[in-house]
């Protein structure tokens, strides 16, 4: 896609080393003339290969925001890092017969090189890898603080087990009964595992969402609320008829209790098997295996708390084990699912009167139920952060003392890392055998590693403190930079990662380590890059290869295409966009820089005398700049680019008519520095400036020039002027007609008569013809 005079490869080669030597993206000293500080974080990358189209999109948005704030004079921190532990990298490495560290760090180098070429405005000194011992030392330190507070605990529980990945998964990682990573059907297993007590923060995790309204996308707030699933209701006890046990149900409609005609419990729940009468055991087992039918009777009944009537108990497929108590009261007269169930079993539908609120308030006890469960954090895999606990036969679970952190992963090169139901670390006796830190007797290390979502729950706190040795983060750096002003990433992280990061932040707040309760002030979600209406995937063979796109069109055209395609949240169908069009536009603006009158000499850089300005172009420039500024602030980059194109056209016309266009072309260069940094730098240089357009400063907008001009439009009736309207010069015929017909003096003069002709000549004249009285 070479266009004469637009050699993107040469520009990329030319400017990369110059930028590096200028150190443009290290935040300036605090207290330096600055408008304040801004912290922009792109969700960090997973090193599973080279960068792909999704990265190119997300980082184009994050980078535009960071670059804009730099141009506005803020002190900006824009860091870069890698989420470098984890199962996919481990699986990929094993498949290639490589050590996960070798594979992971090689990928990181490749991606880092690509990020540099992609011209990200990041401060490379923040570079962070979660798999570095210097990072996971502090992940372990945080785990121990959670442990001390009872927020990390180990219990035997029924958990989700992925037979293919040979590890447990958090509830959040099970999608419709299948492993989120590999799609294998999940089985339940009773295992002793580590959990984080996120449920003790459930209320705050819901309540604090309110403050994010307007700053986070509404769908993400809704997904968080639904995931936590807070429900206020009533816990109500039903006594069994034939022994002294009770069944507690959770209901949001205690007022319907008179209409209860059955109770139902969740299949597969311990409650089902506890309640099941011996005669129904076989039927229950069969239902558990096949899940055929709507449910099964348990052969037992309870007494109605108000009427004393006998209420049969069932297992019902629609009752979830993880909500409320896993048991419901069936009210077929008021609840649709209950009615369907009652019809299937021939149960009565009793339309009894509702209890008045006061009465309803007296049945049972008020309470809250959450869908959210504690977060299962242990994994039986090698490539993760070791859990810093020693198991001692005498002392139990003993934390590794802080001064012995990190507990580093053993090398295990040449050892089998393929998981076999327990962590590969368990086979490494040399590593697992350690004296108990408390009593000195022989103990064993915990052999599980942490869910990688633990690593990513606090990385944004580490960036500003990357070299800090006395804790996970430096209090001073944290006060200066956090919370994150703008977080940018995919909507696929709307639940898990964001929920966990919010939970961590609240715990750290309660520990007195941070003084804020939410980590991300604002969130921008980008849509997916798709092809011909379908998600791209390697297996479907419809991948658009980023490196090919970059080789064909260059970095700037790809970046510009990403931001020009539409609003950030929308999907980008690569079949519908035109990187070639972006190349043509960029080559046109580059020529503008060549054609501007009287190039500056380098020495004059600062006090560039403005040429004799074309007044119309100046107005257009300031008006469009004002609009572009608002659009960039609102993240409507696509429209901002469209306005920049308009400005480029105006500048071209002015130049061709011999006018002075330096002001307009310089403005175009600075705006484009957000989206097409190489071309912008090249323009800047051809305009006679020193390199470093990234810090040139946003153009000052003259409000008088930017103000929308108005013209006076005469409204006539039968040729006689009846009103004068102030209208925009580009007002449409329709809009002008409406304005004229709305004028009170026109309405009075027409006096209800029929208008036979309307002559509209925007923007100056409207003439209405009415028959003489």
Say if strands 378-379 and 449-450 run parallel, antiparallel, or are unpaired.
antiparallel
Rule CB under 5 A: is residue 631 a binding residue for Zn ion?
no
Could you tell me the sign of the dihedral formed by the alpha carbons of 505, 507, 509, 511, in that order? negative
Binding-site member from 48, 171, 200, 231 for ligand ANZ (CB under 6 A): 231
Nearest residue (CB) to ligand ANZ, 328 versus 482: 328
CA 345 to chain centre: 46
Nearest residue (CB) to Zn ion, 162 versus 392: 392
Give the contact letters, 254-273, x = binds to ligand ANZ (CB under 6 A), - = no: --x---------x-------
Binding-site member from 315, 329, 565, 632 for ligand ANZ (CB under 6 A): 329
Give the 3-state secondary structure of residue 138: helix
Residue closest to 220 by CA, chosen among 461, 516, 499, 455? 499
Rule CB under 6 A: is residue 252 a binding residue for ligand ANZ?
yes
Rule CB under 6 A: is residue 251 a binding residue for ligand ANZ?
yes
Please provide residue 137's backbone torsions phi and psi, each rounded to the nearest 5 degrees: -50, -40
Residue closest to 648 by CA, chosen among 629, 615, 671? 671
Rule CB under 5 A: is residue 80 a binding residue for Zn ion?
no
Q: What's the rounded Cα separation, in Å, for the pair 37 and 310?
A: 68
- Binding segment toward ligand ANZ, per CB under 6 A, in 53-61, 204-212, 313-321, 524-532: 313-321
Binding-site member from 335, 451, 474, 681 for ligand ANZ (CB under 6 A): 335
Nearest residue (CB) to Zn ion, 395 versus 750: 395
Nearest residue (CB) to ligand ANZ, 273 versus 646: 273
Please provide residue 434's backbone torsions phi and psi, each rounded to the nearest 5 degrees: -140, 150
Nearest residue (CB) to Zn ion, 392 versus 647: 392
| Total residues interacting with ligand ANZ, rule: CB under 6 A | 20
Nearest residue (CB) to ligand ANZ, 110 versus 231: 231
CB of 169 within 8 A of CB of 378? Answer: no
The tokens for 79 are 């860091």
CB of 341 to ligand ANZ, least distance (A): 11
Q: What's the rounded Cα separation, in Å, for the pair 543 and 532?
A: 11
Give the residue carrying structure tokens 């705050």: 204
CB of 334 to ligand ANZ, least distance (A): 3
When CB distances are held under 5 to 8 angstroms depending on the partner's kind, the choice from ligand ANZ, Zn ion, none that residue 273 binds is none
When CB distances are held under 5 to 8 angstroms depending on the partner's kind, the choice from Zn ion, ligand ANZ, none that residue 250 binds is ligand ANZ
Rule CB under 5 A: is residue 438 a binding residue for Zn ion?
yes
The tokens for 576 are 């519908």
DSSP-derived secondary structure for 474-527: -HHHHHHHPSBSEEEEEGGGTTHHHHHHHHHHHHHHHTTS-S-S-SBS-EEEE-
Give the residue carrying structure tokens 């009075």: 748
Nearest residue (CB) to ligand ANZ, 80 versus 355: 355
When CB distances are held under 5 to 8 angstroms depending on the partner's kind, the choice from Zn ion, ligand ANZ, none that residue 335 binds is ligand ANZ
Residues 361-390 that bind ligand ANZ (CB under 6 A): 369
Rule CB under 5 A: is residue 394 a binding residue for Zn ion?
yes
When CB distances are held under 5 to 8 angstroms depending on the partner's kind, the choice from Zn ion, ligand ANZ, none that residue 395 binds is Zn ion
562-595 burial, b at 16+ Cβ within 10 Å, e below that, comes to bbbbbebeebbbbeebebeebbebbbbbbbbbee
Angle at 58 between CA 223 and CA 628, to 5 degrees: 100
Binding-site member from 37, 323, 480, 690 for ligand ANZ (CB under 6 A): 323
Give the contact letters, 176-215, x = binds to ligand ANZ (CB under 6 A), - = no: ----------------------------------------
Q: What's the rounded Cα separation, in Å, for the pair 501 and 198?
A: 11
CB of 424 within 8 A of CB of 382? Answer: yes
Give me the residues that bind Zn ion (CB under 5 A), please.
Answer: 392, 394-395, 436, 438-439
Give me the residues that bind ligand ANZ (CB under 6 A), please.
Answer: 231, 233, 250-253, 256, 266, 318-320, 323-324, 326, 328-329, 331, 334-335, 369
């Amino acid at each position: 896609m070479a266009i004469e005079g637009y050699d993107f490869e040469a520009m990329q080669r030319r400017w990369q080393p110059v930028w590096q030597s200028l150190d443009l993206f290290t935040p300036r000293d605090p207290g330096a003339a600055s408008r304040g500080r801004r912290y922009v974080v792109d969700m960090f990358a997973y090193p599973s290969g080279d960068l792909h189209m999704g990265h190119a999109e997300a980082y184009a948005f994050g980078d535009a925001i960071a670059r804009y704030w730099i141009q506005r004079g803020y002190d900006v921190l824009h860091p870069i890092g890698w989420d470098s532990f984890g199962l996919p990298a481990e699986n990929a490495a094993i498949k290639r017969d490589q050590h996960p560290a070798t594979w992971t760090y090689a990928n990181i180098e490749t991606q880092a090189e690509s990020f540099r070429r992609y011209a990200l405005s990041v401060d490379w000194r923040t570079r962070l890898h979660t798999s570095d011992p210097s990072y996971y030392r502090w992940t372990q330190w945080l785990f121990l603080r959670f442990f001390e507070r009872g927020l990390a605990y180990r219990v035997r529980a029924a958990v989700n087990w992925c037979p293919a990945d040979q590890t447990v998964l958090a509830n959040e990682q099970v999608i419709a009964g299948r492993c989120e990573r590999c799609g294998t059907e999940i089985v339940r297993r009773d295992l002793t595992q580590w959990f984080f007590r996120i449920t003790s923060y459930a209320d705050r995790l819901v309540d604090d969402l309110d403050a994010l309204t307007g700053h986070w996308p509404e769908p993400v707030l809704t997904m968080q609320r639904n995931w936590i699933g807070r429900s206020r209701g009533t816990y109500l006890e039903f006594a069994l008829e034939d022994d002294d046990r009770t069944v507690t149900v959770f209901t949001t409609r205690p007022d319907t209790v008179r209409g209860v005609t059955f109770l139902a419990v969740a299949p597969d729940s311990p409650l089902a098997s506890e309640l099941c009468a011996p005669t129904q055991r076989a039927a229950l087992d069969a239902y558990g295996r096949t899940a055929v039918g709507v449910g099964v009777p348990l052969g037992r009944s309870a007494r109605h708390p108000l009427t004393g009537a006998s209420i049969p108990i069932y297992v019902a497929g629609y009752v979830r084990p993880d909500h409320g108590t896993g048991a419901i009261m069936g009210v077929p007269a008021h609840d649709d699912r209950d009615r369907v169930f009652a019809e299937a079993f021939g149960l009565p539908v009793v339309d009894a009167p509702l209890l008045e609120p006061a009465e309803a308030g007296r049945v049972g006890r008020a309470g809250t139920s959450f869908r959210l469960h504690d977060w299962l954090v242990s994994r039986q895999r090698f490539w993760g952060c070791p859990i810093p606990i020693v198991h001692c036969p005498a002392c139990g679970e003993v934390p590794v003392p802080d001064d012995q952190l990190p507990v580093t992963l053993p090398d295990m090169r040449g050892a089998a890392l393929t998981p076999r139901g327990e962590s590969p670390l368990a086979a490494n006796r040399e590593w697992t055998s350690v004296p108990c830190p408390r009593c000195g007797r022989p103990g064993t290390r915990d052999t599980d590693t942490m869910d990688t979502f633990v690593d990513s729950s606090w990385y944004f706190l580490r960036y500003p403190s990357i070299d800090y040795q006395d804790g996970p983060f430096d209090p001073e750096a944290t006060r200066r930079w956090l919370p994150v002003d703008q977080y940018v990433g995919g909507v696929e992280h709307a639940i898990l990662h964001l929920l966990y990061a919010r939970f961590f932040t609240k715990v750290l707040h309660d520990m007195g380590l941070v003084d804020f309760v939410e980590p991300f002030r604002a969130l921008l979600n980008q849509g997916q890059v798709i092809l011909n209406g379908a998600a791209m995937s390697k297996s479907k063979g419809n991948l658009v290869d980023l490196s090919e796109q970059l080789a064909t069109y260059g970095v700037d055209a790809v970046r510009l295409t990403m931001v020009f395609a539409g609003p950030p949240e929308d999907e980008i169908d690569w079949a519908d966009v035109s990187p070639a069009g972006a190349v043509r536009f960029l080559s046109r603006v580059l020529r503008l820089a060549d054609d501007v009158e009287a190039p500056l000499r380098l020495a004059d850089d600062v006090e560039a005398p403005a040429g004799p300005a074309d007044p119309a172009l100046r107005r257009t420039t300031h008006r469009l700049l004002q609009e572009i500024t608002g659009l960039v602030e609102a993240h409507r980059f696509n429209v901002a680019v469209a306005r920049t194109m308009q400005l480029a056209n105006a500048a071209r016309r002015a130049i061709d008519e011999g006018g002075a266009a330096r002001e307009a072309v310089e403005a175009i260069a600075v705006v484009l520095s957000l989206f097409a940094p190489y071309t912008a730098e090249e323009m800047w240089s051809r305009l006679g400036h020193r390199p470093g357009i990234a810090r040139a400063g946003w153009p000052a907008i003259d409000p008088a020039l930017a103000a929308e001009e108005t013209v006076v439009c005469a409204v006539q009736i039968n040729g006689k002027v009846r009103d004068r309207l102030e209208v925009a010069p580009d007002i449409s015929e329709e809009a002008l007609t409406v304005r004229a017909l709305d004028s009170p003096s026109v309405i009075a003069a027409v006096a209800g008569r029929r208008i036979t002709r309307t002559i509209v000549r925007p923007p100056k004249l409207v003439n209405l013809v009415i028959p003489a009285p």
